[in-house]
Structure formats: structure tokens, C-alpha cells
A = this chain, B = another copy of it.
Amino acid sequence: MTRIDGRAANELRNVTIERGWSDQAEGSALISFGRTKVLCTASFTNGVPRWLNGKGKGWVTAEYSMLPRSTNDRMDRESVKGKIGGRTHEISRLIGRSLRAVIDTKALGENTIVIDCDVLQADGGTRTAAITGAYVALADAIEWGRSKGFIGKNAKPIIDSVAAVSVGIIDGEPLLDLAYTEDVRAETDMNVVVTGRGLFVEVQGTAEGAPFDRRELDALLDLALGGAVDLTALQVATLAP
């Protein structure tokens, strides 16, 4: 099968990360997976939410949102509708869990980092792009906190890096990093979150069309782990001093 943009089955789209995009946030990254563009900002606050007070731990959380015309058809704003939809909730929670999986909240100290992932343009894979970019913003916010003395000089709040990628099966063939036109045709769709050391943080596979068997699942996981290696390398290069 030939992919619409001529990529190999195990090839990522062109991925770029513009570190420090924002003049305001303590950490930020504008990440692109092909035409998908997500602005990730990390807001550092000294102190924790009330329910964590006095436990000597920090907190990392995330919110995801799409601009109304990030998509091909304009969507109504969730602020106008007065409520957040299930998909948005689900993705915000996924990003938060993924980042917390590589954070030692004790080493972070009583500090809070809120990650905002706003999709400026969507062409498939927005949640995995968000996680991959959010890690860069988070890392910079932590260094900012260290530079201000909120985090100890030798504290290591970051245990590992984290990146994410989507994989799917189209016409029986497993493919890495689906663009939107591929995503809508996929029989099975899987988002995989992987640490820099190659361990799984999240595996979320869904049969959109036909249910899938163990062999297909294995092929998708192989593809995802391969893609994660490349994304990790890009994160490392981006964060290099």
C-alpha cells in the first residue's frame, strides 16, 4: 500500500519542535507532526492544590483543547457550549497521567506545573503530538523552577522522558503515525505512550472497524516502539543546551 504522502509504513511524518515558543510561559514548545500543530505551555507555580498540602509532593496536570477552526469543519467552542466534551476530558487526563509517569513528585517538591496543550491545527495524532511536546515544555519549566530555587539543585524530578505516537491498521496493514485521512479509514487505532527507556506508560487500542487479534496487536506495538525511539531522539536533541 502506498501512503498518501509517500511515507513508508514505519515512517513518522516530519516532526519539528520549536522550544521556548512563548515569551510568557516557564516552559513551552510548538510541536508539529506534519500539518498537526500543538502549542504546549508549562506554567510553574510554587505551592500545591489544597488536597496535597503538607505532603512534601508536587503536582503535574494537563489540559487539552482544540481551537474551533483547527479542524476541517469548524467546531463549536466548549466554552460557548458551557461544558467540556468527553473526548477532551479523556485526552487531558491521558496527557496528565503520561507526564506524571516520568515525574518523581517528591523530588519536584511542593510545586505545581500545569501543562496546556492547545491544538492550533489538527491533522491526526493531536494527543500523541501533545504528549511529546508537553514533555519538552515540562522539562524547561522544571529547570526554570530550579533556577529560581523552588527545586533543589540536585533534585531529579524527571525520572525518564516520555513520548507518544499513534499506530493503526488500514486494509490489514499496520502503519505508524496516522494522518487524519488515514485515521478515519483505520480498522484499529492505537495510541502508545512510551518512556525514553522503552517502557510502556499507556497502551490504548480500539477496534474502530473489526476487532483485532493478538498478532495484529503485536505488530502495532512493534511499530510504536520504533517510532518512539525517533521521537525520544528528537526530544533529546531539542533539549540539548
The residues of A with any CB-CB pair to B shorter than 8 Å are 22-25, 28, 35, 39, 41, 43, 45, 63, 65, 67-72, 74, 77-90, 92-93, 97, 101, 114, 116, 118, 120-123, 160, 190, 195, 197-207, 210-214, 217, 221
19 pairs from A and B in contact (CB 8 Å cutoff): A22-B69, A23-B35, A23-B123, A24-B70, A24-B72, A39-B67, A43-B69, A67-B118, A68-B116, A77-B79, A82-B82, A85-B89, A87-B93, A101-B207, A101-B211, A160-B211, A199-B212, A202-B207, A204-B205
What chain B residues lie within 8 Å of A82 (beta carbons)?
82-83
With the chains together, A199 CA to B211 CA distance in Å? 6
Q: Please give the count of copies of this chain that the complex contains.
A: 6
Chain B residues contacting A80 (CB-CB under 8 Å) are 63, 84
Q: Which residues of B contact A206 (CB under 8 A)?
A: 97, 201-202
- Bound-state Cα–Cα, A166 to B120, Å: 27
Q: For A71, list chain B residues within 8 Å (CB).
A: 24
Nearest CB in chain B to that of A102: its residue? B211
Q: Which residue of B lies closest to A43 (CB)?
A: B74
Interfacial chain B residues near A202, Cβ < 8 Å: 204-207
What chain B residues lie within 8 Å of A118 (beta carbons)?
67
Find out whether the CB atom of B203 lies under 8 angstroms from the CB atom of A217.
yes
Specify which of B39, B92, B121, B195 is in contact with A86 (CB 8 Å cutoff).
Answer: B92
CA of A101 to CA of B207, assembled, Å: 7
Given contacts A39-B67, A65-B77, A86-B92, 17 further A-B contacts (CB under 8 A): A22-B121, A24-B70, A24-B122, A25-B69, A68-B114, A80-B84, A86-B89, A86-B90, A89-B89, A89-B90, A199-B207, A199-B211, A200-B205, A202-B204, A202-B206, A203-B205, A204-B204
Contacts of A101 in B (CB 8 A): 207, 211
With contact pairs A86-B90, A89-B90, A93-B90 given, residues A214 and B203 touching in the complex (Cβ less than 8 Å): no
Assembly CA distance A222 to B198 (angstroms) = 22
Can you name the residue of chain B whose Cβ is closest to the Cβ of A78?
Answer: B79
B213 touches A69 (CB 8 A): no
What is the distance, in angstroms, from A93's C-beta to the closest C-beta of chain B? 5
Q: Is the CB of A77 within 8 A of B63?
A: yes
Contact of A201 among B23, B78, B211 (CB under 8 A): B211
